[in-house]
Amino acid sequence: MSHVIHRRWETEARYYETIVMTDLFGDRVLVTRWGGKFSRLGGSRTTAVGEKNVNEGLKRVEAERRRNGYSEV
């Protein structure tokens, strides 16, 4: 599986997005990015998740975003 999965959540002032892609070594990675919509504050993290754990990682992120008041766009 080599397709990219991109999802984004937002509040009034903040955003959070996930991108699942294949890295140069052929491994699946979960890239998370977050920050303020109206500022330069933010960050990112890249985590190797493996093909078997992609859905689990996305479900975990989605649940956490919803608990924190984000809506998917």
List residues bridging with 63 in a β-sheet: none
pLDDT at 6 over 70: yes
What is the structure's pLDDT at 2?
Answer: 63
In this predicted structure, what is the pLDDT of residue 37? Answer: 95
The alpha carbon of residue 14 and the mean position of all alpha carbons in its chain are separated, in whole angstroms, by: 14
pLDDT at 9: 97
- Residue 1's pLDDT is what? 52
Q: Which residue has the higher pLDDT, 2 or 66?
A: 66
Q: What pLDDT digit, counting tens, does each position of 14-69 carry?
A: 999 999 999 998 889 999 999 999 999 999 999 998 888 888 889 999 999 999 99
N residues, the chain: 73
